[in-house]
Structure 1
Amino acid sequence: MTEPNPDFAQAVRAVVLSMPAAKHLGFTFGRIERGEVEIVQPFREELSQHNGFFQGGVLGSLADFAAGSAAGTLLPAGWVNMTVDYTVKLVAPAQGEKVLARGRVVKAGRTTTVAAADLFACTGEQETLCATALVSMRNIPLPQG
């Protein structure tokens, strides 16, 4: 790999938000820095299980997107990453106006990057940790042409 993409924030935003799954969830990026991102997911009824709680699979998806996006900030131009595996631990009910998913790189490598994400259910200014995840990403150059 070469030097990280100087336009990493724009590249990550464009790649991730063009994915059909990301469009379905309807999240936005709160911030994008080298090795760290924040995703903001507003509550919507179709993302819940019952009684106003975010569904666990939605939390897993948000963790994957946040950690993968953080990993993507360190890639050279013309590279992307794909999830190899992830483990999510749900630690509290996710109920609130939104979920903040904060992703960070744990260890970046040439072919594999390990990242993590912490998810917080938010109401007003109150944040409650509801999930944590560890995610492995495979770094690949985009095919030419």
Structure 2
Amino acid sequence: MSVRAWEASNPDFAAAVTGAVLSMPAARHLGFEFGRIAPGEAEIIQPHRVELTQHDGYFQGGVLGSLADFAAGSAAGTLLKPGWVNMTIDYTVKILAPAKGPTVAARGRVIKPGSLITIAAAEVFSIGDDGETLCATALVTMRNVELFKV
């Protein structure tokens, strides 16, 4: 499968996306950080924290869903014009394997950008000493919204 090379209309897309996302209380609570970010792509890295797990030490499914949503939304955000943000309309997550280890990474990518709606996807990987394991996949629909300055 080939990956399309998207072009960002905002030359400061990386700062705009990371700034918008990391200003959200939910993102701060999760404590993740950005990895690779490029036009149409974004990676979010989540270090293991016991409060994000279920009783057996695996990352809780809602955390995986949140990471997928943030990664796909961030990928979509890289293609927005300056002064625009996006919000999730819906997302579907399929958990494929348990996520346990020191790190989980969600890698978002744009499927189809649009002026008002952008479709993106994300794959979530559990990363440990034995490599990466695909543990979830998601399809995300984002609504693009122009911010108005007051």
Same fold (TM over 0.5): yes
Q: Does 1:20 align with 2:29?
A: no
> Is residue 69 of structure 2 the alignment partner of residue 64 of structure 1?
yes
Which of these residues, 39, 42, 47, is aligned with residue 44 of structure 2? 39
Q: Distance in 1 between matches of 2:22 and 2:129?
A: 26
Aligned counterpart, 1:83: 88
**Alpha-carbon distance between aligned partners in 1 of 2:57 and 2:122, rounded to the nearest angstrom:** 22
Q: Does 1:124 align with 2:129?
A: yes
* Aligned-pair identity (%): 68
Q: Which runs of 4+ in 1 moved over 3 A?
A: none
Cα deviation, 1:57-108, whole Å, max 9, x if unaligned, reads 0000000000000000000000000000000000001111110100000000
Where structure 2 has 5 or more consecutive residues not aligned to the other structure, the ranges are 1-7
Structure 1: runs of 5 or more not aligned = none
Aligned residue pairs, count: 143
Match of 1:135 in 2: 140
User: Offset at 1:125?
Assistant: 5.6
Normalised to the residue count of structure 2, the TM-score between the two structures is 0.93
Q: CA deviation at 1:52?
A: 1.1
Whole-Å separation in 2 of the counterparts to 1:98 and 1:23: 17
Q: Secondary structure at the match of 1:38?
A: strand
Residues 13-58 of structure 1 deviation map (CA, whole Å, 9 limit, x = unaligned): 1000010000000000011100001110000000001221000000
Instruction: Return the alpha-carbon distance in structure 1 between the equivalents of residues 82 and 11 of structure 2.
Output: 8
1:104 corresponds to 2:93: no
- RMSD across aligned C-alpha pairs, in angstroms? 0.9
SS in 2 for 1:22: helix
Find the residue that maps to 1:62 and give its secondary structure.
Answer: helix
Q: Give the counterpart of 1:52 among 52, 57, 61.
A: 57
